[in-house]
Structure 1
């Protein structure tokens, strides 16, 4: 193949191509391989019966040995029409030719004349030399500037060595006997050793004889037995492997060669189908391709195993030769029966790319279970890229909105949701189809942020096969978080809550203590009610502690509650006596004591209902219905007594005090007005808001029942600075309307709704006020049900280390959902978390700086990329002892800073990407043996195989190329024939 170093090679010049004779048409055929799967065929007439061809090292000349014409034709390969520059006499019956010799000489064998002739590059200055009887094959060291030519003399079974090291003055040594010599011969790239095949008698073994060309062809050691009737042999690119096609025994002999001594070890026979007739090494030397003449079979044999893979179906009717393409992804077979050049895909290759946007930096990819589309996390934007790996077309990116910037993505097996991590905002983003059903390539998507623990900084994410959990690796908090992305729900029962009429709720910052206000039907102006105190003992489990009674808290119909961030100040709105009780304690372990009552004078507060407290616990907002107006009274409670500061009007001519909520940053205040006194055949109610920094006297409308799902809204809470939870009571009397929790996502102004969704509540429970946790969990006090409804994302952080000494990075889940495996870059370990029971953690020491981790799709193994150890560790889940254990660690020179790993859908291939490397490594998952290296981009990051075992494809995030590369991982596959009467046994490159 001209343009590449090979047996006639030299400095690569021009496009890659194949040059071969067409005996029947007396022509020389050139197949251009610029597009390797679609050869471009050209031909030029030469003289009678061209039997062999050679190509000059610079790729500018082709030489045709014309058997019946007795000539050598010199063809100009630089010209489009391939003109014959000259045809010169070359003996009676020239049958073989070799180029790439010292001084650009060319040597031609004359079978009938028992001689060879040495020409210069242009076919001039012939020098004839006598050799043995019936010279039929020539070979020289590949790469150009060969100093010796080996001549197989078929009639007298000898080999002659021709010295061409001095251009114009060749010489020949005495013939060396090689009994039964065939035309199968190869010379090492070093130029020192030649390997000659000899036929056996009948079914007897054939032989390979090693000749030392530095000693005029002296035989090295004893001949090496191979199979019967060896027809072809080839040396690997490193001169360290020898493969022989044994026509009579239907095998290929694979042997290790010592390049320094030329000695061949005992070969291993590999079944290759009937009558193997030709072999050729792939460019990386890892495999050899074999064609069977009578079966039409193509076999790829890995030389280090050795193991054979057979192409399904015949590659031709009577294939006679095979040549590997320039990059090893394709091979070419000449079919004698049909006169066709058959193209075969022999190795994985990049098939294309999908852009992810200008300035993007995709770092991880997830492919949908049906393989129809994929998501890519663009780490430099607030978007998830959408792409079609089949058509290589991009879709419309999914906005996550600031401050969310994705790092990893995962798609649920049932396609009802996907997840993306946002390290900077410590959030998990849940992507769901807006109209329900399944996610699609171009369907509308709703994004719901789920807050993890503050500072969690999640990187990797995986989803369990049953879709129950999304699992994140939290680099900031040294945890693995188990998240219910569909939202969980449970009820704290009435016996545990122990309240007659729950009306308000407040939650400690750590989420472990819940306070519930019990209105208890207290008469106006009288003391009564209590605050229930509940302690969380586990996921969904609470126990009742001693309550704060009416006397201790100076309570009178307690309604909403407000708790300071430090948990040391609790405020209670006393609906019946128009005050707010402020309770204090010195530490979180102390009992609550009454500190003061907040009142307003001279105009009293009437039915204070809603409360909001700034994070520092110093400014209190109280809803009021005095004077037939719904207002918010602002108090400074840093002093005793509290100081009134100002009034904010919510709604005039409204006798009902609103529920209140303050954004976590303390900048925006929101109020919910239900309007229950009005006729309610239709939903009624309004949510208001104000920017407190502007000190405006009144609030503006954020949402109304006409446009949003707010129907008789009672309580509300800020899930975060952009999300409002609003309790809509609906109506249990005719006309019946369902209660719900409205989740309002605000736009950039934070005073208007961008989108909304609802979570159902039981209208018969009469849901009242709500408290929200930092992870998005909502606690709704049920007035009639005497319970607390908990709507939760189900975030369960499992500690796997300490933030000072651990940095979880990537995570994968086993095929059965039994374990989550998180790599830990700081502690050089992998934490295996049992996903059932008590979430037991087994930490295993692996290599330094483990980054990527992947689980096999069909067995309980995990693979870990050890970035600084240049290795891959294999973990069994569980191991022989019943707990996770390290099985082995693979090292290889190709593992240069491995960063990510993934496993093919059939479980046979491990895909590895390395730091700042544009090549994909493909490994055998059983042995760790590198099988292929596929150039696929500039700096590959995460990879995602197609989940379908029948679709051998993998998508790779190219962080520097701003694309997702798509690689076809097929090892053997028929591409198609092209009309070209090639004799690939004589093909040259």
Structure 2
């Protein structure tokens, strides 16, 4: 074996390997992603005085559940009866009258409003929750409703003017409402309401404001961002009820609207939101110091989302619903908790994770935390899946499946591993936690499997039929068959950073196609040079460049993710096939199947820095990286084996005998919030 570490003058040595027959992806062959720590960089030689650690709380996801249905812009408040989510807009943009208790127990319907509304505000006052205004069929409402523990509603008063797009927070026994939208135009008022007394104006904002993020802390109201006129704002305002004064105390990093806010540990957290563009959603969590107005980053949401709602429940923040960049309404419910992370007071190096920021070794989802560490290897010749223990490196089980299994794919929600039985015309579900094998689901020609980033559709790659079949993600019922007749050998794909488009390889047509995932149609074709055989596809961490393995050209194509322009071919080795980003997003591992090697490309320079040769040769194909990022697992497509390779040194750790046709193996569990398919593309 020849191993090269990364270095400024690293020499790349390509050792000759026994020639293997050039074959494609499926019964053919294919491959995909993974990640890990990569070649160790040179140690710094200049000693520096260590900076003083500073405890800066960040918010992390500690639990996730599903709402009964998708909802955006609900009114949310936490009271003695739990956290209620009231009204909102559903997936069809229709107003809702539902009153849901979403915490602490599982979400359930507890009552209904007299009328369906959205963009209302809610606040807990004493034993009840109060709902203010909201938009409905008759326009903005001025109603104030009391919701008791049972979910029953009674009238409790009127606002000074009908208003929607409002936000509220509670200080003592009084709820304060900031801004909003009225029939006469946006409002700049701050309204106070105490049960048993009329609602009245107690302050004025510097300008009319809608969709601001509002929370109460230390007896004051913090108002961040929002929309004034057509534009999002970035001011952080503080309202003191005692004086009635509103003053600016800080600025957000960027104009932000349609965000949520909640208070925890004496800080106000601004969650998600967007800019002026309807598809500019963010996953940022910002912490505001109410005393100084200083704003800093304090974590990331599981996905970029706006039009969400949040409330503080004990030591956690509960986040409900929202809308993502594709326009899809979410049915997700998240619990966020603070954890003190020691950071350096000196500036830290900017993170490189980008697209893969939520797939680092520390980002194991609660949904998979108890799943045993296994490698699931489909054997296309014996119609089975061999299960390898990552700890012992031994096959511990063989699962009979349908005819010619090609890939094992994690479902979008990370709860199921789907085995695509290409010639068996079925998908076999496996529960990775219990090992239970479910009844096969009939599906025509499932060579590969992907999911849209919002989880609303599964995409079955029907290679022989030259189709991308958009299906329901759980039942696999066909919704739309997208014909791609010019894409012979449709095989692999990856999505743009915003999840709007997918770049798809056409193995036997020397081209790529771009699919609009929202409209489910092909919008562009990218020609490669004649004779090319594009295989796996992977987007760079910064979302700017797609890497496409080309088995016939012995390298990786670089394609601009914005202009879709073909940039250049980067040589790696014969039979370049699978692409796997490291856990820290610094390196891209390329399996060169025909020469038995793995090339390591730096994402920073877009050039190779090392090549790892398998001792005795091999045919490294598909697989993934262990959750801790230390081991790259790959099938030996033509050698009836699986390789475990150290991502630190490139050393071959294990060579495990399996069946004659090992193909698209899945390494499980994997870090990440959701899967977009193949053998485990998690984000």
TM-score interval for Structure 1 and Structure 2 normalised by the shorter chain: 0.3 to 0.5
Q: Which has the larger radius of gyration?
A: 1
Give the number of the structure with larger relative contact order, counting CA–CA contacts within 8 Å between residues 6 or more apart. Answer: 2
The TM-score, its normalising length taken from structure 1, stands at 0.27
The TM-score, its normalising length taken from structure 2, stands at 0.38
